[in-house]
Structure 1
């Protein structure tokens, strides 16, 4: 009776105005474990704020939190990071949500996680993983979902954005047409106008001006006033752009000037920037050079400010990632100290009991001491593993982040074209994020299977060999996806494979394909990476730091590494280790 009364009081407190937003009160989250499950779920669904984000991040890593509550906290934390324009952190939370949904066979949560992953990767300008997760979201949307059409519309919009980044405009147009069909079914006039405007944009890029004008007229007709400001800005901006490309410069200025003013008043900087890009050449064609010069100055200021804001945002995101890793290391050290104290206390207790009982318990004391040695050895091995992880994080990610900082500083000092430096900054940021993902994957206990290793290999082939123009083929022989594999074996095998594939993509001139084979024979596990590069005039060894690292990893596994050219053309890296 008391338990039900406590639940009723807790729910009533949540409904009161003073308790309307428990996530804004840190005490409500700190005492989350004392609440009934229904109240915990109510708290977990509340919006995450910058003040509560660190505590929510600790809760999702805390053992003992109910699985359903952890899933809600992860989703809301990912939504907070997306709202704060930190897509890398949102991806980390959504990947955990996706793993939990796969384990629970929860298709609705799985579809939502994949949809957000698609959107986050589009923000990072990394479209290929976004396309893969967007297509998975399409496959997993529940057929009985009453909101199925709206969810499918959002997924198609995200897929179209990723396709446009590749760029694959026909694919993007196909996704937008599918979204357009759904918005018309649900009578969603705003999104119908957005889809038609996006199709008009692709028609403009292909110089299909009559088709673009027809699509734009349909967009205006499908969404009569009053319109949302964002949609109105998009439509008017497209109208002005179309008029400029048709040579109607006076009409273009008449559309673009009010659009620029509204965008500036509403602080829609991206829309103002696009309007200025079209307005400056239109004014120049009309001979209104003074106005064109003023708008060009504003355009330069906008570009510089947006670049500085983007750099600061990336710096904050990297700082948050560093703080998260630092807190995890502190928790690990605290657990180690607690285990050491417990072990010491247990030893003293057993020794005291042994002295009191006498000689008859000496055998028991020896057994306990052996067990204590085993615990200490296991703890020492765990400490060495964490030290190695910390070294990898420092050597890999630390160097890349230093390069990002140096290049950002260089861009601030140069005049005035920042585009090449921005490309380098984005490249280094992606490399840092990729390295972080590799290290986190290497310590993930849920990935200790052959299937997880093969999936990771396929992802790296798609990201490295395919962009280099190489056809890929991955074959596994004598292995099954559910077969377990030791963490050390999995990490070294993947890093040797990654180094060999990267060398093939960078140095195998004239190669058209790369073949990877992982096979298990009695007592032996063998990894082979072979490309078909033409034979070089002189013997090619591709020796260097990468080959030396691969040999060291082979020695760590008590195995053998053979690397060298193949008669008739090609280069082969073969690792053979005891199974």
Structure 2
């Protein structure tokens, strides 16, 4: 005899924190007992004329049971299903999607961390290699010169000059390595100033220098790996120009265009220049170009020797 509505399921939509239920029955019945099985087994009593209030029921499916106090036979109870519809962020689908994206985020963070560790290891390996190549050879020459002077048991001006030259070279190499790994120098202005200073120091009075920069107006910072290897390739090229040329003309061109970044070093040559880059110097340049994922082109024709580094746009 108790009824609440003709619906099969009572739905509580998202945002409805308060829901009221009213019951009807025979005139001689004044009270009802009700319970929601999933929220508790105890029966609660209300007047038949009173409204039963449901407040802030968590999302889920519930079973409402209502009876008169004297009716114990379950066949005569009112049984209704109540469904509290969850908000979209309370659904399992949303939680699975969020768990998926959180997992992706953790994986990306792990990849980033692993990449940073690899970069650190590469930097340490690079520094060790540079110290071995640049400083080790200079110190070896100094040691051999000292031993030779010790054998002669007398002052030899040529040996002293050689030791002085090798010492200055070692000091300059240490300065370059420190500069290359210092994060405060990770900008294009420091790189250009360093390149101009080295070219001026090595070629002053020996060559005519033309330095051109194009398309770098909006470039500020450079990756340490790029800055270091470009400078060391440049340094190697300038040193070879100073060693193997007499009064050359030198062009240094940095050109940053939509098609990519190119660093070009050109100089006029004589016949003896043909052998200038045969050996370890060119191999070191190619190795450094590969480190920054760039290509290295060496051309010797029509009285011009050129080295071109090509990479993606800065």
TM-score, structure 1 as length reference? 0.35
- Unaligned 5+ runs, structure 1: 1-357
Listed as ranges, the matches of 1:556-567 within 5 Å are: 556-567=291-302
Q: 2: CA distance between counterparts of 1:439 and 1:526?
A: 23
The one of 380, 404, 425 aligned to 2:142? 404
Q: Which has the higher strand share?
A: 2
- Contact (CA 8 Å) 1:504, 1:531: kept in 2 or not? yes
Q: 2: CA distance between counterparts of 1:433 and 1:537?
A: 30
In structure 2, relative to structure 1, the CA distance for the partners of 1:570 and 1:359 (3 Å cut) is closer
In structure 2, relative to structure 1, the CA distance for the partners of 1:565 and 1:541 (3 Å cut) is farther
| Cα drift, residue 523 of structure 1 | 3.3
Q: 2: CA distance between counterparts of 1:449 and 1:538?
A: 34
In structure 2, relative to structure 1, the CA distance for the partners of 1:408 and 1:578 (3 Å cut) is same
| Cα drift, residue 519 of structure 1 | 1.1
In structure 2, relative to structure 1, the CA distance for the partners of 1:372 and 1:475 (3 Å cut) is same
| Cα drift, residue 369 of structure 1 | 4.8
Q: 2: CA distance between counterparts of 1:543 and 1:526?
A: 23
What residue is the counterpart of 2:122 in the other structure? 384
Q: 2: CA distance between counterparts of 1:386 and 1:538?
A: 35
Listed as ranges, the matches of 1:247-258 within 5 Å are: none
Alignment coverage as a number of residue pairs: 218
Q: Which of structures 1 and 2 has the bigger CA Rg?
A: 2
- Contact (CA 8 Å) 1:452, 1:481: kept in 2 or not? no
In structure 2, relative to structure 1, the CA distance for the partners of 1:501 and 1:539 (3 Å cut) is closer
Q: 2: CA distance between counterparts of 1:564 and 1:387?
A: 31
What residue is the counterpart of 2:281 in the other structure? 546
What residue is the counterpart of 1:368 in the other structure? 106
Q: 2: CA distance between counterparts of 1:529 and 1:382?
A: 30
2:241 is the counterpart of 1:504:
yes
SS in 1 for 2:296: strand
Runs (4+) of structure 1 exceeding 4 A deviation are: 358-366, 537-541
What residue is the counterpart of 1:452 in the other structure? 190
Listed as ranges, the matches of 1:85-96 within 5 Å are: none
Q: 2: CA distance between counterparts of 1:520 and 1:373?
A: 30
Q: 2: CA distance between counterparts of 1:366 and 1:547?
A: 43
Q: 1: CA distance between counterparts of 2:190 and 2:257?
A: 20
- Unaligned 5+ runs, structure 2: 1-94
What residue is the counterpart of 1:414 in the other structure? 152
Q: Which has the higher contact order (CA 8 A, sep 6+)?
A: 2
In structure 2, relative to structure 1, the CA distance for the partners of 1:408 and 1:447 (3 Å cut) is same
| Cα drift, residue 481 of structure 1 | 8.5
What residue is the counterpart of 1:432 in the other structure? 170
- Contact (CA 8 Å) 1:513, 1:532: kept in 2 or not? yes
What residue is the counterpart of 2:306 in the other structure? 572
Q: Which has the higher helix share?
A: 1
Q: 2: CA distance between counterparts of 1:413 and 1:537?
A: 36
Cα deviation digits, residues 419-451 of structure 1 (max 9, x gap): 222211111111110110111111111111111
Q: 2: CA distance between counterparts of 1:577 and 1:359?
A: 43
TM-score, structure 2 as length reference? 0.61
Cα deviation digits, residues 85-119 of structure 1 (max 9, x gap): xxxxxxxxxxxxxxxxxxxxxxxxxxxxxxxxxxx
